[in-house]
């Protein structure tokens, strides 16, 4: 047709994209932190097939998921069409050339034309849905910029151009008395029927506009991608391929932390260059859909933190400082201060430290590390690790953190627990229960890892007592460490105090290996997650069992028999650290269902969509961040208040006594406070193990009566 014009379009379009993409690639590798994501390639390829090509996470928002699937499949099908039409720029658009196999007259070509035509119709439906969503519904979770509308219109233009090219060809190249309807392209044929009455010259012009328009739109679209959020069209495949296969519950350690402290090297993330290449790939891949913020407990209760905005701000900061980061400017990379010899002093708004310049401190301190953002993200962006890395820099280098954490840090460093009780009191809860210490019974089959809250907090001690009584009743051979147990270090690690965490990890691993501990039972999801998922990096590989799983197994084995009725309608709350982090959802519910008289109900926000109680990420020892948005989704206020309201919504008054059950000492505290603060004195809050003990031992039939007697 016009090889010179097609060559010019391809050289200019693809050449400019290659230059822009190379800049993005250089910026990505300007981030210096290591990230080894080339292991377990079989699992990684499976993840791409299931989550990218299968669109698995997209359907968590059903209508949007279906619409996106239409467009995604359309892109894959139309990709071949783009190559074919580009080739026809050299061979002529009238010949129907399609690399022989896909020629318009070939059987495979006809099948492809039919598929392309039908899929094109579905793409129009998907685009129309998203245009309606953006222009009419305007959900608050989404970034409603003109870019999104522009891209959708380009996709619509791409389909329209191809339709006009196809329909015009039937008229221009057909006989005067021949039908323009072809079953292999029903939608294009309908358009041809409409255009048939128009002058042939006009139709041919429309056909050529459709032909050249297709290529021009594709090249324009391609070059627009690196400058906006739709870069995810290109980066989503590698981002899913190199996603974190270890799960949310395992944070990477700071290697050689003592050596770094002595050498005064950067700990955590100070500047954008302290991120890893995978972190930057995350920034590129954000679609700004807002699903992360829509499910974030901090954002939902009016706090400044928005995982979506955090990602956008970090991405925009890197793009704005692209030249200096790529060049390895020592100020931009954090390797030197701008007052160093030979460096041009920067203005206040040009400094590169992220916290305080790009990200407000209250943003990173509002995070409960619940992982809801990562669970919802359809393109597998991680958030918790980045927030913790920025906390690490603030705590270990700057010495800046919420004042309320001071007491927790002091208690951890001086007596081994954030409650600041003498560690000699760790076994006081077990007085009169005849529970052996590991030092007294080193060959016990199980170590009952009690944890700090059940050791020192009065409400949580009831959980430890109930668990011990049930294990004794079931004939379980167990012992406790008593004063030899210390905090696992989870609060310190999630708060950014990695040095203190590693100190506890090494100490606890050494203690347990000294007793040849192999099996551990714990009632605390935070202890469970830390010992099971993070201690292996410090040489501690143990079989760790959460108490709900352990008790459920004992019930199924007939070693525990809940025979006495506990009259209650119970709303179960999923702890983030055993739910989203470790996939334990059914055992606690099955325990409750095994108790006669208990009716288990779930809030819509349950299981992997359960809202955090507000205690994770060291929030247990500090107050919520200030409220910045009074129109928040879950209601402006404290996270534990919002979560309590969600659970109360499925507990109508009347009928059975009402109760909230949990399986975490922190959750028990936060939900109990949520009930008390909001005046719900007639609703009880118990750990699953407490309700089970009542049924096994024969406590009062009514939960309310049992709570009063307790």
The Cβ-side half-sphere exposure at 559, using a 13 Å CA radius, reads: 14
Q: Give CA separation, 576 vs 41, 323, 461, 526, 673, in Å.
A: 28, 41, 21, 9, 18
SS3 content of the chain, % helix, strand, coil (to 5): 55, 5, 40
In this structure, the number of other CB atoms found within 10 A of the CB of residue 510 comes to 12
Cα gap 310→141, rounded to integer Å: 14
Full 3-state SS string of 128-153: HHHHHHHHHHCCCCCCCCHHHHHHHH
pLDDT digits (tens, 9 = 90+) for 154-205: 999 999 999 999 999 888 877 555 677 888 899 999 999 999 889 989 999 9
- The answer to whether residues 386 and 455 touch, using CB atoms and an 8 Å cutoff, is no
Dihedrals φ, ψ of 437, to 5°?
-80, 155
Dihedrals φ, ψ of 400, to 5°?
-115, 120
- The answer to whether residues 467 and 448 touch, using CB atoms and an 8 Å cutoff, is yes
Q: Nearest 5 degrees, angle CA 216-CA 220-CA 224?
A: 170
What pLDDT does 346 receive? 54
What pLDDT does 145 receive? 86
CA-derived radius of gyration, the chain? 30
Cα gap 160→169, rounded to integer Å: 14
Report pTM: 0.92
Sorted by sequence, the CB contacts under 8 Å of residue 476 that are 6+ apart come out as 445, 446, 554
What pLDDT does 91 receive? 83
Stretches in the chain below the pLDDT threshold 50? 340-341, 343, 348-349, 705-710
In this structure, what DSSP letter does residue 356 have? Answer: T
Q: Nearest 5 degrees, angle CA 400-CA 402-CA 408?
A: 105
What pLDDT does 389 receive? 96
Each domain of the chain, given as residue ranges in start order, spans 36-230, 257-398, 407-602+650-709
Tokens at 522, concatenated? 């714990």
- The answer to whether residues 218 and 199 touch, using CB atoms and an 8 Å cutoff, is no
In this structure, what DSSP letter does residue 33 have? Answer: B
Sorted by sequence, the CB contacts under 8 Å of residue 460 that are 6+ apart come out as 453, 454, 665, 668, 669
What pLDDT does 706 receive? 39
What pLDDT does 652 receive? 87
Sorted by sequence, the CB contacts under 8 Å of residue 465 that are 6+ apart come out as 429, 430, 433
What pLDDT does 348 receive? 45
Fold of 257-398: Fumarate Reductase Iron-sulfur Protein; Chain B, domain 2 (1.10.1060)
Tokens at 56, concatenated? 């698995």
- The answer to whether residues 491 and 420 touch, using CB atoms and an 8 Å cutoff, is no
Tell me how far apart the 2 most distant CA atoms of the chain are, in Å: 101
In this structure, the number of other CB atoms found within 10 A of the CB of residue 503 comes to 19
């Amino acid at each position: 047709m016009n090889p010179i014009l097609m060559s010019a379009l391809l050289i200019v379009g693809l050449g400019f994209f290659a230059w822009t993409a190379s800049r993005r690639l250089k910026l990505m590798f300007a981030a210096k932190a290591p990230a080894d994501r080339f292991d377990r390639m079989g699992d990684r390829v499976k993840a791409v097939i299931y989550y990218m090509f299968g669109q698995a996470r997209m359907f968590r928002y059903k209508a949007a998921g279906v619409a996106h699937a239409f467009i995604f499949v359309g892109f894959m099908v139309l990709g071949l069409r783009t190559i074919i039409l580009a080739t026809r720029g050299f061979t002529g658009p009238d010949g129907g050339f399609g690399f022989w196999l896909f020629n318009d007259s070939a059987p495979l070509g006809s099948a492809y034309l039919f598929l392309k035509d039908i899929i094109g119709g579905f793409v129009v439906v998907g685009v129309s849905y998203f245009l309606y969503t953006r222009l009419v519904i305007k959900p608050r979770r989404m970034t409603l910029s003109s870019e999104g509308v522009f891209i959708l219109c380009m996709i619509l233009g791409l389909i329209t151009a191809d339709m006009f090219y196809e329909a015009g060809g039937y008229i221009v190249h057909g006989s005067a008395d021949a039908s323009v309807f072809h079953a292999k392209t029903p939608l294009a044929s309908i358009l041809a029927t409409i255009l048939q009455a128009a002058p042939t010259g006009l139709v041919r012009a429309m056909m050529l506009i459709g032909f050249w328009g297709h290529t021009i739109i594709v090249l324009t679209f391609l070059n627009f991608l690196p400058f906006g959020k739709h870069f995810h069209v290109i980066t989503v495949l590698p981002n899913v391929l190199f996603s974190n296969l270890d799960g949310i519950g395992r944070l990477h350690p700071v290697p050689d932390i003592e050596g770094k402290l002595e050498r005064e090297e950067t700990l955590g993330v100070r500047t954008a260059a302290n991120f890893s290449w995978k972190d930057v790939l995350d920034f590129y891949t954000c679609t700004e859909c807002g699903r992360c913020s829509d499910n974030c407990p901090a954002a939902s209760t009016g706090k400044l933190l928005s995982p979506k905005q955090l990602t956008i701000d970090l991405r925009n900061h890197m793009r704005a400082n692209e030249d200096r980061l790529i060049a390895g400017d020592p100020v931009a990379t954090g390797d030197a201060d701008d007052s160093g010899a030979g460096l041009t002093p920067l203005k206040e708004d040009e400094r590169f430290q992220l916290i305080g310049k790009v990200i407000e401190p209250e943003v990173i301190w509002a995070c409960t590390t619940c992982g809801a953002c990562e669970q919802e993200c359809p393109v597998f962006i991680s958030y918790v690790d980045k927030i913790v890395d920025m906390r690490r820099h603030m705590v270990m280098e700057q010495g800046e953190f919420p004042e309320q954490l001071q007491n927790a840090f002091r208690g951890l460093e001086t007596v081994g627990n954030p409650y600041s009780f003498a560690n000699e009191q760790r076994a006081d809860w077990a007085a009169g229960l005849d529970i052996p210490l590991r030092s007294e019974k080193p060959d016990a089959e199980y170590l009952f890892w009690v944890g700090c809250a059940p050791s020192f907090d009065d409400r949580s001690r009831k959980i430890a007592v109930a668990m011990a009584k049930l294990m004794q009743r079931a004939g379980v051979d167990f012992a406790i460490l008593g004063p030899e147990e210390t905090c696992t270090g989870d609060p310190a690690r999630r708060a950014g105090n990695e040095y203190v965490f590693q100190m506890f990890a090494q100490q606890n691993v050494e203690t347990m290996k000294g007793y040849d501990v192999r099996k551990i039972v714990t009632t605390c999801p935070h202890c469970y997650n830390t010992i099971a998922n993070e201690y292996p990096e410090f040489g501690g590989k143990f079989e760790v069992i959460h108490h709900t799983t352990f008790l459920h197994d004992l019930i199924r084995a007939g070693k525990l028999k809940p025979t006495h009725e506990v009259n209650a309608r119970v709303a179960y709350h999923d702890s983030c650290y055993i739910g989203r982090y470790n996939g334990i959802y059914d055992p606690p519910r099955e325990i409750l269902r095994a108790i006669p008289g208990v009716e288990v109900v779930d809030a819509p926000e349950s299981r992997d969509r359960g809202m955090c109680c507000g205690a994770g990420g060291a929030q247990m020892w500090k107050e919520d961040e200030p409220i910045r948005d009074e129109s928040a989704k879950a209601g402006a206020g404290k996270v534990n208040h919002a979560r309590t309201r969600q659970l109360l919504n499925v507990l109508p008054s009347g009928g059975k006594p009402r109760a909230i059950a949990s399986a975490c000492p922190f959750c028990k505290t936060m939900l109990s406070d949520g009930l008390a603060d909001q005046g719900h004195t007639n609703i009880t809050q118990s750990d699953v193990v407490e309700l089970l003990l009542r049924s096994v031992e024969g406590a009062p039939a009514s939960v309310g009566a049992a709570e009063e007697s307790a």
